[in-house]
């Protein structure tokens, strides 16, 4: 009798599980991470590792797919490329677009790994730590390639946010200073300069939202002249940095967050800022912004900023200098424990 009951219960439980799986597929949900990949053949050395995190990003497709393939093709003329994309929790058509992208990459013979994950994070984890975790997921194949000796000594990591991707702009960013840098960014915009959570000038001060963005005279002059300028840290929608310190010192976004001694505030402002500080900790201090590279998150803001920078940049710089001089508090010094954003720029 007990054996019969156990058998019936097992059948019932199996039926319930099967029904749940079928239901998940019917409503378009996924029960686990789904990966598609094509790794380089043996003996291939990857010179450019392109990484991206996407979430509810259907608005940037199909532009993103076309441009990332184009970017890999342009870079692939001199060295092999690898594309790593980690997506999790999207409720729009992002997963479907990524499935199409994986087919495009396979047809173009481009090595890649795309992960579409349904994993969710505990509410106990704050947003910065969650971002660090998902960025680490996109970075993970780099360590796999290293374990199989498939990285160049000079491999560059090209890490993209969910930007309106322009392959030529990112290609030019990669080629800044003939690739003689440890880390380089452009300038990103959304209703003014955007990524002020990460960007610090050479003295460690926060950028302004408005042109010319920085107050330190020497680097401001370089920015006005449209030549690369040294900074303490940056990200700005897309960052290109050396893989060597990442591999050599096992650097991750999450690991950099845990190094609270690098933070000047009680809580880190950004996982990207903390990774840049980890670079500096190991003496990889050649961090630059190329002001010619303009990045945004939709075509409208990108076109607007290109128009402003081309025709109205000097006027805005003069106007901002007057306002900063007469109406705004002085920019904070390096020894401030936790710099606040300037009043005019908030």
Q: Note every long-range contact of 214-219, with CB atoms under 8 Å and residues 24 or more positions apart, other chains counting.
A: 215/324, 215/331
pLDDT at 38 over 70: yes
The size of the chain, in residues, is 346
CATH number belonging to domain 34-304:
3.90.550.10
Residue 122 pLDDT > 80: no
DSSP letter (8 states) at residue 30: -
Given a contact cutoff of 8 angstroms between Cβ atoms, the answer to whether 295 and 172 are in contact is no
For residue 187, pLDDT over 60 is answered with: yes
pLDDT grade for 331, boundaries at 50, 70 and 90 = very low
Is pLDDT of 226 > 80? yes
207-211 own/partner pairs: CB under 8 Å, 24+ apart: 208/320, 208/324, 208/342, 208/344, 208/345, 209/345, 209/346, 210/316, 210/320, 210/344, 210/345, 211/308, 211/309, 211/313, 211/316, 211/317, 211/320
Q: What is the pLDDT of residue 78?
A: 78
d(CA 207, CA 200): 6
pLDDT in tens, 266-318: 455 689 999 999 999 999 999 999 999 999 999 888 888 877 777 666 665 55
Q: What is the pLDDT of residue 301?
A: 82
- 42/80 Cα distance (integer angstroms): 12
């Amino acid at each position: 009798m007990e054996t019969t009951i156990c058998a019936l219960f097992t059948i019932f439980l199996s039926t319930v599980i099967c029904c749940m799986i079928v239901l998940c597929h019917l409503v378009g949900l996924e029960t686990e991470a789904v990966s598609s990949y094509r790794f380089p053949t043996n003996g291939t050395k990857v010179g450019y590792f392109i990484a991206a995190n996407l979430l509810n990003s259907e608005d940037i497709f199909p532009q993103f797919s076309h441009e990332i393939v184009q970017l890999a093709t342009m870079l692939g003329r001199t060295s092999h490329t690898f594309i790593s994309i980690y997506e999790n929790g999207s409720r729009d058509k992002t997963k479907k677009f990524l499935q199409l992208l994986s087919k495009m990459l396979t047809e173009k013979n481009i090595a890649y790994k795309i992960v579409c994950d349904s994993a969710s994070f505990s509410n106990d984890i704050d947003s910065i730590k969650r971002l660090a975790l998902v960025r680490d997921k996109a970075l993970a194949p780099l360590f796999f390639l290293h374990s199989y000796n498939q990285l160049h000594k000079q491999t560059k990591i090209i890490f993209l946010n969910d930007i309106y991707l322009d392959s030529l702009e990112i290609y030019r960013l990669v080629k800044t200073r003939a690739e003689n840098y440890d880390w380089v960014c452009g300038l990103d915009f959304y209703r003014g300069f955007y990524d002020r959570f990460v960007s610090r000038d050479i003295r460690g001060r926060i950028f302004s939202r408005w042109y010319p963005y920085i107050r330190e005279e020497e680097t401001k002059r370089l920015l006005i002249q449209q030549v690369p300028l040294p900074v303490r840290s940056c990200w700005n929608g897309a960052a290109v940095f050396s893989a060597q310190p990442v591999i050599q010192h096992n650097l991750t976004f999450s690991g950099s967050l845990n190094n609270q001694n690098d933070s000047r505030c009680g809580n880190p402002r950004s996982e990207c800022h903390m990774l840049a500080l980890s670079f500096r900790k190991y003496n990889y201090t050649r961090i630059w912004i190329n002001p010619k590279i303009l990045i945004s998150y939709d075509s409208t803001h990108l076109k607007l900023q290109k128009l402003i920078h081309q025709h109205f940049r000097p006027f805005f710089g003069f106007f901002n200098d007057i306002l900063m001089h007469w109406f705004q508090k002085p920019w904070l010094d390096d020894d401030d424990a936790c710099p606040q954003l300037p009043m005019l720029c908030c």
